[in-house]
């Protein structure tokens, strides 16, 4: 994992498997089925890094030979929150690693003309203040959606939030960091820039459309 000097809250997960799979994901010829599988796999690999500091509780285990000490992850306190729709593609892969994590949902779409986020759904588990949140969205473009999602989580009482995406634009990292400097950002790639329509370059296109076969 590396952190660019000019983006103090950003970590780039640059594991060779992540870089390989992200290249396939960017390919315009990658069909929907494979695109979905790749998002799932990259999210799982990134979750390994994103959960480095998960809280462990001491436990004991009976091996076939004797009893010994071990550790148990307090996974129930981890809450995955996909930003609909595209964030949904990242949930299953992470749940395979941490099956006891809970899942909330935030519904947001970006208005095509204004690029402003429009919110339409919010549901997270109770006891928000005791939970660690992993906010999921493959794309951090202008940062408007991620920033609004963090604001909603904080309004509900969340204080420990990190944001996990696959592709980030510098504009989005700057916006999210300015609005929420306490939220660490993990990405598989920091891309070059946004185009005039707010799409990330080189990017991978519209993540929601490619995941769900809509256009």
Ligand X SMILES: O=P(O)(O)OC[C@H]1O[C@H](OP(=O)(O)OP(=O)(O)O)[C@H](O)[C@@H]1O
Ligand Y SMILES: O=c1cc[nH]c(=O)[nH]1
Please give the residue ranges that form the binding site for ligand Y (CB under 6 A).
Answer: 139, 141, 198-200, 203, 206-208
Q: Which of ligand X, ligand Y, Mg ion, none has residue 145 at its interface (CB below 5 to 8 Å by kind)? A: ligand X
Q: Which residues are annotated as a binding site for 5-phospho-alpha-D-ribose 1-diphosphate?
A: 85, 110, 137-145, 206
Is 40 considered catalytic here? no
Does the footprint of ligand X cover residue 102 (CB under 6 A)? no
Which of 23, 72, 114, 214 is catalytic? The answer is 114
Is 114 considered catalytic here? yes
**Exactly one of 42, 208, 210, 211 binds Mg ion (CB under 5 A); which one?**
208
Q: Which of ligand X, Mg ion, ligand Y, none has residue 115 at its interface (CB below 5 to 8 Å by kind)? A: ligand X
**Exactly one of 82, 89, 143, 170 binds ligand X (CB under 6 A); which one?**
143
What does the H/E/C string look like for the chain?
A: CECCCCCCCEEECCCHHHHHHHHHHHCCCCCHHHHHHHHHHHHHHHHHHHCCCCCEEEEEEECCCCEEEEEEECHHHEEEEEEECHHHHHHHHHHHHCCCCEECEEEEEECCCCCCEEEEEEECCCCHHHCEEEEECCEECCCHHHHHHHHHHHHCCCCEEEEECCEECHHHHHHHHHHCCCCCEEECEECCEECCCCCEECCCCCHHHHHHCCC
Does the footprint of ligand X cover residue 117 (CB under 6 A)? yes
Is 68 considered catalytic here? no
**Exactly one of 30, 51, 79, 145 binds ligand X (CB under 6 A); which one?**
145
Q: Which is nearer to Mg ion, 30 or 177 (CB)?
A: 30
Is 32 considered catalytic here? no
Q: Which is nearer to ligand Y, 179 or 209 (CB)?
A: 209
Does the footprint of Mg ion cover residue 117 (CB under 5 A)? no
Q: Find, among 98, 11, 88, 117, the residue nearest to 55 by Cα.
A: 98
Please identify every residue annotated as catalytic: 110, 114, 206, 209
């Amino acid at each position: 994992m590396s952190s660019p000097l000019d983006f103090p809250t950003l970590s780039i997960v640059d594991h060779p498997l992540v870089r390989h799979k992200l290249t396939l994901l960017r390919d315009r010829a990658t069909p929907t089925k494979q695109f979905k599988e790749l998002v799932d796999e990259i999210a799982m690999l990134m979750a390994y890094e994103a959960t480095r500091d998960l809280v462990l509780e001491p436990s004991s285990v009976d091996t076939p030979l004797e009893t010994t000490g071990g550790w148990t992850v307090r996974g129930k306190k981890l809450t995955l929150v996909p930003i609909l729709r595209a964030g949904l593609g990242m949930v299953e892969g992470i749940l395979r690693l941490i099956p006891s994590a809970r899942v909330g949902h935030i519904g947001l779409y970006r208005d095509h003309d204004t690029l402003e986020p429009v919110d339409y759904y919010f549901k997270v588990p109770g006891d928000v203040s005791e939970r660690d949140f992993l906010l999921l969205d493959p794309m951090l473009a202008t940062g408007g959606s991620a920033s609004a999602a963090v604001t909603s989580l904080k309004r509900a009482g969340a204080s420990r939030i990190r944001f996990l995406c696959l592709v980030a634009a510098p504009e989005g990292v700057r916006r999210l960091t300015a609005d929420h400097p306490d939220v660490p950002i993990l990405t598989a790639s920091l891309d070059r820039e946004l185009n005039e329509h707010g799409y990330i370059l080189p990017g991978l296109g519209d993540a929601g459309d490619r995941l769900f076969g809509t256009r």
